[in-house]
Amino acid sequence: MRLQTKLLILMMLSLVAIGACKPKAEETETAVVEATPAAADTMAQTGPVKYRVEFTPLWTKDNFPFEYPDTSLIHKPHFSGLIGTAHNASYHLFLDGQMPTPGLERLSEEGKHDPLSAEINAAIGAGNALALTESDPLKDFSQTATAEVTVDDAHPMVSLVAMIAPSPDWFAGVSDVNLRDNGSWVDSKTVDATAWDSGGDDGTTYLADDKDNDPKKPTSMNKGRHFMKDGQTMPVGRITFTRL
């Protein structure tokens, strides 16, 4: 009887011990469940994130009266479709002081996305860019041009360009816009797009005849009279990135 009693007590103690352990296990599980949303959020910060791109034109006759192209022309003043990509520090769509690529030269002179799109696709293949972004041309300046751009941890910067048309080799552009801030993706960001000269043509007026140059000149900010006011460069457009 004594032995049986001892065994019974031992069994009861074991049950109590198991019972005591159980809530702990549940607590641990609960803790894991609670941690999951935070972990998912951290993932979302690094993984591909999409932004809406909205390009608002500011290149109007009111803002840029000097030699502003005749709005009754068949090819009214307009912007070509935007083209660009998210990328890392090893890729630049354009850079102040750098020779234009054939793709940037053609975009700036004819508004054509090819072969700039092929150059971007090559950068994607090399791991330096993430995905091609393009919009339709913008011909009605009461409207905006829209597109989407995908960024990730390895490609947090965005560069975009559009031809200022008509023009010899001038384009609106933003480069290396970083959509990360303090380790998080920004909800939205607005940047001015200034006028650039790709360096692929020597024309100096909107309607100048083709004046191809060889060797090419370095790309530079366009500080001609067309885009300056009171000694300041005026933005020809504004680009807003909004996280989707």
Q: Which residues contribute to the site for Ca ion (CB under 5 A)?
A: 169, 197, 200-201, 212
Distance (Å, whole) CA 67 – CA 232 = 18
Q: Could you tell me the smallest distance in angstroms from the CB atom of residue 45 to Ca ion?
A: 41
Q: Could you tell me the smallest distance in angstroms from the CB atom of residue 42 to Ca ion?
A: 46
- 185 versus 206: smaller Cβ distance to Ca ion: 206
Q: Could you tell me the smallest distance in angstroms from the CB atom of residue 209 to Ca ion?
A: 12
Distance (Å, whole) CA 15 – CA 25 = 15
- 128 versus 198: smaller Cβ distance to Ca ion: 198
Cα Rg, the chain, nearest whole Å: 29
- Tokens linked to 15: 């049950």
Q: Could you tell me the smallest distance in angstroms from the CB atom of residue 201 to Ca ion?
A: 4
- 119 versus 197: smaller Cβ distance to Ca ion: 197
- The residue number whose beta carbon is nearest to Ca ion equals 200
- 137 versus 224: smaller Cβ distance to Ca ion: 224
Single-letter residue type at 202: D
Distance (Å, whole) CA 174 – CA 165 = 17
Q: Could you tell me the smallest distance in angstroms from the CB atom of residue 212 to Ca ion?
A: 4
Q: Where are the beta strands (DSSP E) in the chain?
A: 49-57, 78-79, 83-87, 129-134, 145-151, 157-165, 170-178, 180-181, 184-185, 188-197, 220-221, 228-229, 232-233, 237-243
- 26 versus 212: smaller Cβ distance to Ca ion: 212
